[in-house]
Structure 1
Amino acid sequence: MSDLPFGFSMPNDPDDESGRRSGDSGSGAGSGRPGGGDSGTPDGFPFGDPQQMADMLRRFADMMSSQPSPGSPGESATSSTSGINWDMAKNIARHAVSQQGDPSVPPADYARVEEALRLADLWLDQATDLPSGVQTAQAWSRSEWIERTMDAWAQLCDPLTAKTVQAMGQNLPEEMSTMAGPLLGMIQQMGGMMVGQQAGQAIGGLAQEVIGTADIGLPLAGEGNAALLPSGVARFSEGLEIPDDEVRLYLAAREAAVHRLYSHVPWLRSHVSRLVEEYAAGMSFDVSGLEDRLGEIDLTNPEALQEVMSGGMGAEGLLQPEDTPQQKAALTRLETTLALIEGWVATVVSAAVAERLPHAGALAETTRRRRATGGPAEHTFAALVGLELRPRRLREAGALWKALEEARGVEGRDAVWQHPDLMPTGADLDDPEAFVAGGSDEGPDFDISSLTGPEGPSDSGADEDDRGDDGRKDDRGEGGA
């Protein structure tokens, strides 16, 4: 039996073999298709013999549960409210990076990363009005990155993965739901296990590409816990012909800048999370091919179900995501927020390092391209959860922050983060001069008390402003690269 749940094979089970022999009797039996010659098959049942389907699903569940999570034999794994087993996902991710080799960080590399984070954070004092947000500065291996960020991945992705799992047993044609009954519930449970496995593999792949805790514009290890992966820094440096110390300092400045932003903009994390939830709420799936795909499964072979269900979403997956107006609107707002975060970070870091790092321009362009296109593992993760956590309009967002700084100074630029109702919308990225001119009377001395209730700022107004955008196209224009 294989170490990983993906690609595992069934153990030789005498009882199972007898079941297969009995299932092979009769013309066409075991094919899993309707009308296979089994006199006990109800007319019109979409998956063949329901008892045979139930037996197959039970064997599938036994096969899954009999395999301990890699690296932690006997450890009990917990599931989220979405039904996804994130403990299993974490162990699979760690197993994936260990297979590629994941040594502990040497003391010398740890010291260099810690020094770079502290020094870069000091440089930022002169580029932003927001104070330091770095509480701890560390260097991590890939396994440590997985361990420290998995809770954030679970919280961020639960709304998306839950929608995928639910779709495996819901929104089916009425005749399928009526006939399949509890079998669809079993399929849904199996789907939760499969998505958990896929998430583990995807996050394990991401661990091969990430640089720190804030690569996606969100501090995944919590505010204040800054860290870089020396292996990720080295991979970023490949082919640049720039001194390692310079690359490390530039990436450390980006890491520290994200922590400053989230540490002193208390509404931002919940705002991003809520936009992801809104995007998930608008997700819809085309299940027209689900019956055909399940009807092709050999019901004597649980691995066949695994193969079908492991495709995730997209052209090759079991479920085909469909765009909905609600989903497009949420995506527009989310991409605008991510672009504004990335644009602010790039602007602040550029100001902090321009006179200190000779290759600051080249490093900024390399980073921009990396954020705009993503790596192979990031695309795999996006296919799994149905969402790319990447900004689309980096140049426009950067131009807007620079225009604000020129008009209002550093303090006035950063004051926009005081409340979500002051934030630019997708339409403002098209015309930053108009946004700056329109808010010229709302600079750093603007009184935001009228926007804050007794419990502090609310970010509802930002969403109302963004709903005026012209859909997804507005934030995915030609300048989005």
Structure 2
Amino acid sequence: MQVIDWDLAVATGTRLVRPGPQVSREEARQAVSELRTLSREAEGHVREFTQIHTETPPQPATIVDRPGWIKANVEGFRVVLEPLTERMSERQNQTPAIVTAVGSRITGVEVGAVLAYLATRVLGQYELFLPPDPSGQEAVGRLTLVAPNIVNAERELNVHPRDFRLWVCLHEETHRVQFTGVPWLREYVRGQMTEFLLASDLDLPTLMERLRQAADTVADVVLREGDGNLIEAIQTPEQKAILDRLTAVMTLVEGHGDFVMDAVGPAVVPSVVDIRAKFQQRRAAGGRFDRTIKRLLGLELKMKQYAQGSAFVTAVVDKVGMEGFNRIWTSPETLPTLDEIADPDSWCRRVLGSDALPA
């Protein structure tokens, strides 16, 4: 049973996505080559600074265009949603075939449209969930950089291209170091996502109620610029607790990425102060339509995660040093809760003990 028509999602996304900036063939070749080189350079800086080491051999980043990013994310979605697909297949006899067929095509178009929007904005990402490799030789994750978006951003910001590219690589390579250097972290995130999906109420009355709530949320955000988002609108009470845990860990990893980027940057990126100031302005900018879409998709929450997570990491490292902070990667039990991210001292007391804090 297919919950989402994935082929239609890819076709819709690649058809709707806007083309990247105009570049010559030589400019494109140079950008791809430099991003690959800088990703390797950034990885060394990140490992040395974070003191997180791994047996995984370094890999150059995968450089894609906007349609390539859409295809890669559809592959990841298929892996993430596999448990939900299997459960719904068990209930296939309860749902008329025509409803399943039409529903999968509708969601395929919707997913494609969302990905087309995001594909113009994402600079890079560490892809946690890839289709299984039959040979077992490929890495479990993949660092992807979206070359057209990086080039477009550096032009809009009017910043030094090489400096900006290395700065972006520092953030994204931090995610690769996190998930390859902390062996349990990937499966923890995947387990929480699976638990979130399987906590859904799949009976028809509940589904219709969730859709009604989603429609109310869209109206509130679009017409009155409310604060809701679609994820909050359709989640069950059981999912709320799981989402809090997911939000906490993603706030940590995103904030850690921003912290490392800004801590390493001054030593290796000469124009980092100019880049950070302009990039912050870019994050906060956007017209009403852009702000509305960000609210609906929960992207404004992601912007807050960068700031909250970075403030938490900064506070802990200032108090107990990098070695003390790295206790955070010991196990799922040492990860901070959302409340502890807002109160770093409480995490230090719980995990490190009161003696770890300065008098």
Q: Same fold (TM over 0.5)?
A: yes
1:189 equivalent in structure 2:
101
Q: In the aligned structure 2, how far is the partner of 1:240 from the partner of 1:256?
A: 22
1:265 matches 2:182: yes
Alignment-derived partner of residue 263 in structure 2 = 351
Distance 1:252 1:183 in 2: 46
Measured after TM superposition, the shift of residue 364 of structure 1 is: 4.1
Could you give the per-residue CA deviations for residues 23-59 of structure 1, whole angstroms, max 9, x where no partner exists?
A: xxxxxxxxxxxxxxxxxxxxxxxxxxxxxxxxxxxxx
- Among the aligned pairs, what percent are the same residue? 23
Q: 1:130 aligns with which of 52, 74, 85?
A: 52
Cα distance 1:338–1:323, how it changes in 2: closer, same or farther (>3 A)? same
1:15-94 counterparts in 2 under 5 A? Answer: 81-94=1-14
Tell me which of 192, 208, 212 is aligned to 2:124. Answer: 212
Counterpart residue number, 2:163? 246
Tell me the residue number matched to 1:426: 338
Q: Which residue of 2 aligns with 1:148?
A: 72
The AA in structure 2 aligned to 1:202 is: V
Question: Which deviates the most, 93-102 or 351-360?
Answer: 93-102
For structure 1, list consecutive stretches of 5 or more residues without a partner in the other structure: 1-80, 171-180, 292-310, 445-481
Pairwise CA distance, 1:314 = 4.7
- Structure 2 gaps of 5+ residues are 131-138, 223-229
Preserved CA contact (<8 Å) 1:372 1:390: no
Structure 2 counterpart of 1:325, from 237, 253, 270: 237
Q: CA deviation at 1:159?
A: 6.8
Counterparts of 1:150 and 1:402 in 2: how far apart (Å)? 35
Q: How many residues align?
A: 327
1:150 to 1:290, Cα distance in 2 relative to 1, 3 A: closer
Aligned mates of 1:121, 1:135 — CA distance in 2: 9
- Aligned-partner SS, 2:144: strand
TM normalised by structure 1 equals 0.56
Name the TM-score, length of structure 2 as normaliser. 0.73
Residue type at the aligned position of 2:37: E
Cα pair 2:143 2:173 within 8 Å, conserved = yes
Distance in 2, matches of 1:233 and 1:336, equals: 28
Name the structure 2 match of 1:112. 34
Contact 2:21 2:148 survives alignment (8 Å): no
2:15 aligned partner, one-letter code:
H
Cα distance, 1:283 vs. partner? Answer: 4.9
Q: Tell me the distance in 2 between the aligned counterparts of 1:257 and 1:438.
A: 25
| Offset at residue 399 of structure 1 (A) | 2.6
SS state at 1:196 partner: helix
1:287 alignment counterpart: 208
The SS at the match of 1:242 is coil
Give the 3-state SS of the residue equivalent to 1:83 in structure 2: coil
Q: Cα distance 1:428–1:183, how it changes in 2: closer, same or farther (>3 A)?
A: closer
Residue of structure 1 equivalent to 2:146: 229
1:415 to 2:308 alignment = no
Quote how far apart the aligned CAs of 1:431 are.
1.6
For residue 192 of structure 2, the aligned residue among 275, 281, 293 is 275
Decide which structure has greater helix share: 2
Q: 1:200–1:313: structure 2 CA closer, same or farther, 3 Å change rule?
A: farther
- Say if 2:245 and 2:338, in contact at 8 Å, map to a contact too: yes
Distance 1:99 1:234, change over 3 A: closer
Quick check: 1:219–1:259 contact (8 Å CA) kept in 2?
no
